[in-house]
Amino acid sequence: MSHAGMPHRPRLLIARRIFPEVLERLRTHFELRVNEADAAWSADELIAALQDCDAVFVTTGERIDAALLAACPRLRAVCSMAVGYNNIDLEACTRAGVLVSNAPDVLTETTADLGFALMLAAARRMSEAERWLRRGEWQRWSVEQFCGQDVHGATLGILGMGRIGQAIARRGALGFGMRVIYHNRSRLPAAQEAPLGARWVSKLELLREADHLVLVLPYSPASHHAVGAAELAQMKPGATLTNIARGGIVDDAALAEALRGGRITAAGLDVFEGEPALHPALLELPNVVLTPHIGSASRPTRLAMANLAADNLIAAFTGGPPPTALNPQVLPLR
């Protein structure tokens, strides 16, 4: 609430529940409107909540598009605590003079940890074995019981060699003695490749050679179903696929069919088309490890992500440079 004689503080909508300590930081600079129920709002509900707001703190679930901007003409800043921003129409925001920021870097290592854990769990059939054990089916030991695939010394294929892809490559090469191949739109500088022993290959060679394929590319219309039935058909029968990128990069129906038919041996998935809904076949298959989009979900990392979004918001309205603005050309905010 503004006090008499004091300048009006900008009004900020917090679209999902966040850490109390971050709220307190923001409360000193903004008049807050908070989604205390942590509801996943529809487009109309988000527009209604944004009326008379100058800024919004978002995650990956809130769609910010031209229609919303037209309905919320007072909006000046959209700051996300996620690294991906395919839920935000950056061009429309820039045309409207609305600042957009994301939260890169702070979640790299934590997300790489989860990706590597999913790959290991898929390769070694860990969740399949745990479910079997919990059902009370472990009566004796046998030589071929839950034999999976080796990770150490195997070929690690990475599709999308950005920060997280490089962090996964480092774990594979230095920790597990893996041979690293990757495909990216542009090849990394030799100085970045060399410490990992990483080798750029065509997408087709990546699919054919990888024992363990990890997807870490950003989502865009161009990367929709980057791995579908045709790509899965090129993979080794004993290969695993791990997706920690975004839902929609993999054709989940085609993946379920490939897993069911033994086209590939296993998958580890943290992201899904249409999440939180899942393709029902994925729930029925024993050879897939499923996690609910928890790639960055350690408390220190999620707190760092939220604080970076707060840094951007505070800077945008106090005249400082927002540290991770995606369209700094709109500054200063009108």
Please give the positions annotated as active site: 246, 275, 293
Phi and psi angles of residue 114, each rounded to the nearest 5 degrees, phi first: -65, -40
User: How far is 225 from 40, CA to CA, in rounded Å?
Assistant: 26
Q: Write the Ramachandran bin of 261: left for phi over 0, alpha for psi from -120 to 50, otherwise beta.
A: alpha
Q: Find the Cα–Cα–Cα–Cα dihedral 278, 104, 101, 82, rounded to 10°.
A: 20
221, 154 in Cβ contact below 8 A? Answer: no
Q: Are β-strands 55-58 and 11-14 bridged in parallel, bridged antiparallel, or unpaired?
A: parallel
d(CA 208, CA 158): 12
* Distance, CA of 116 to CA of 122 (rounded, Å): 10
Residues 79 and 314 sit within 8 Å (Cβ to Cβ): no
- Tell me the C-alpha distance between 97 and 29, whole Å: 21
Looking up tokens 């860990």, which residue turns up?
A: 126
Q: What is residue 326's three-state secondary structure?
A: coil
**φ, ψ at 135 (rounded to 5°):** -75, -5
